[in-house]
Amino acid sequence: MNREQNKIIRESIITFLFFLALGIIFWKTKGHPFFLFNFGYIGLAAGLGELLFGLLPRKNKTIGRKVSQLLIGFYLLGVLGFLGRENMQLEGFFFYLLAGIFSGPVIHYLIAKTAGTFLFGRGWCGWACWTAMVIDFLPWSKPANGRIKKAGILRYIHLFFSFILVMTIWFVFKKRNFHQQTQVELQWLVIGNLFYFIIAIFLAVLLRDNRAFCKYICPIPPLMKIGARFSIWKIMIEKEKCTECGLCEAHCPMNIRLLDYMKKNQRVQSTECIACQQCVNICPAAAVLYSKGLDIGTREYLTFQGPSNN
């Protein structure tokens, strides 16, 4: 076993231990051993994905990311959602917060989609999301075109209407007898996710872009982009190794102009980065790294359709 392989194994174990530690903290503070299983499982899935990603040859590395996506996605949606009847949709999170119920979805949104973004950026979107675990099997991981200008605003409108919907049900219709694990939870989850899957697949096929739903419709990025700006882990290009072949940009599923960051001696500070590491895999000069550091994203360099890219 060489030094690089040892490092990959060590980092995968650290990932597992990090989640295990979270499980122990929640177990001790909430008094329920379920948290140990829950976070231990997520840590095992993420650690295994990271291990496979690190050890497999370049052309197969995506398998590691997909293993992590499938193991975590099926667990959260299938086991906690469908079997446990927890409304894992964004609206469920709002309802549980209003009802003062510190449930699975609240912990999930607080850790994966808010606090965790300060550490791992939008790693959730690249490695664990149950919507993305389906659309990432479609054939357009390399988007056919740049982004549609201004269409990203729809995500903020979606978030706003989700919030207004919950507020209206709570304050106007005064439906406050809100409980966990009811039939209503299950119906909301099934209908909400069906809606997401249908729109996500339709957009991917229409625009020949697997991640179109993430770019234009999903209400989660506006929440995640706050912490992702500060993320400790970000992509970085080693300038002296880069030949400016452009492959990393062409294959980035989120249309990020990585070289613009490199030319400014910055890490890839875009809050659109989903940490998929496709750029790491594709680079023939091994110039792209997933790195630790301290910086704050201030500008988005993205490729758009049309004459101007800014």
Residue from 126, 159, 199, 150 nearest 302 by CA:
150
- How far apart are alpha carbons 40 and 178 in whole angstroms? 29
Minimum distance, C-beta of residue 156 to ligand SF4, in the bound complex (Å): 13
- Phi/psi of residue 217, nearest 5 degrees: -120, -40
Tokens of residue 202, six digits: 């339709």
Tokens of residue 103, six digits: 């449930």
- Phi/psi of residue 268, nearest 5 degrees: -75, 95
The label of the residue with tokens 């959602």 reads: 81
**Most distant CA atoms of the chain, gap in Å:** 63
With binding defined as CB under 6 A, does residue 288 bind ligand SF4? Answer: yes
Contact string 126-145 vs ligand SF4 (x = CB under 6 A):
---x-xx-------------
Residue from 245, 270, 293 nearest 147 by CA:
270
Say how many CA atoms lie within 13 Å of 257 toward its Cβ: 14
| Count of chain residues binding ligand SF4 (CB under 6 A) | 37
With binding defined as CB under 6 A, does residue 277 bind ligand SF4? Answer: yes
Of the ranges 50-58, 69-77, 98-106, 240-248, which one interacts with ligand SF4 (CB under 6 A)? 240-248
Among 246, 264, 292, 293, binds ligand SF4 (CB under 6 A): 246
Minimum distance, C-beta of residue 259 to ligand SF4, in the bound complex (Å): 6
Q: How many helical (H) and strand (E) elements, i.e. helices and strands, does the chain have?
A: 15, 2
With binding defined as CB under 6 A, does residue 245 bind ligand SF4? Answer: yes
90-99 and 153-167 helices, crossing angle to 10°: 40
Among 273, 297, 301, 302, binds ligand SF4 (CB under 6 A): 273
What's the Cα-to-Cα distance from 147 to each of 28, 224, 308, rounded to whole Å? 46, 19, 12
With binding defined as CB under 6 A, does residue 252 bind ligand SF4? Answer: yes
Of the ranges 11-19, 100-108, 177-185, 274-282, which one interacts with ligand SF4 (CB under 6 A)? 274-282
Among 42, 46, 220, 228, binds ligand SF4 (CB under 6 A): 220
Nearest 5 degrees, angle CA 233-CA 68-CA 92? 85
With binding defined as CB under 6 A, does residue 52 bind ligand SF4? Answer: no
- Phi/psi of residue 86, nearest 5 degrees: -100, 130
Minimum distance, C-beta of residue 90 to ligand SF4, in the bound complex (Å): 9
What's the Cα-to-Cα distance from 113 to each of 29, 128, 129, 291, rounded to whole Å? 21, 11, 10, 20
Minimum distance, C-beta of residue 262 to ligand SF4, in the bound complex (Å): 7
Among 72, 90, 275, 302, binds ligand SF4 (CB under 6 A): 275
Among 22, 42, 207, 256, binds ligand SF4 (CB under 6 A): 256
Among 42, 106, 287, 302, binds ligand SF4 (CB under 6 A): 287
Minimum distance, C-beta of residue 211 to ligand SF4, in the bound complex (Å): 7
Residues contributing to the site for ligand SF4 (CB under 6 A)? 125, 129, 131-132, 213-214, 218, 220-221, 235, 237, 242-248, 252-254, 256, 258-259, 268, 273-279, 282-283, 285, 287-288
